[in-house]
Structure 1
Amino acid sequence: MVEFLLTFAGSLMLGSLLVLINIKAAYHPYHKTIPLIASSLLILGSGLYLSVIASPEGDTALTAMRQATSLAVNGLLATLPAVFALVTLMMLRISARPQ
């Protein structure tokens, strides 16, 4: 259960960090970025809090964040073979369609 909580917290932090990077990279003066930044920081903070609480050794916040984010990346990499198999099946289905 602890590993699931850490993976979930890591995915929250990873997603919010990616949103913050996207906001910085795609800045436009007419966009209202303050609500997006505030919600991303709120999600990042909740993921960090959850990872610190669920961390087994009572590590520092940075160590708990690193551990949770690495578990989230490992979870994403573990699902890639299934995604590749689905994409391959979809491509075969499209290419075998009668014309």
Structure 2
Amino acid sequence: MPPPRPLPMEELLNIRLDQLTCDPSLPPFDSLQTYQFEGRDSRAESLSSLDSDGGNGGAVGEGGGRNGGAKPKVSEAGGNHPGERGRDGG
């Protein structure tokens, strides 16, 4: 008899969800859960570097894009593409 096939990820998560839903002694549904798929040999990347508020306290419109700072104006950023000559002939 061949060894049992591992369960698909969706089925494992549904089993765990059922356990959490039915057992009042387990932590709340929004607590961090660790699954066997996490770790050094996992193909999934770490989520530990995610910052939900973007580092600016969740404020909107403060220029806190992905790089966390204000976006420079085109004139401040150089504006010229590689291989393109500037106005000074350089």
By relative contact order (CA 8 Å, sep 6+), the higher-ranking structure is 1
Scaled by the length of structure 2, the TM-score of the pair is: 0.22
Normalization by structure 1: what TM-score?
A: 0.21
Find the structure with the greater CA-based Rg: 2
Richer in helix (by share): 1
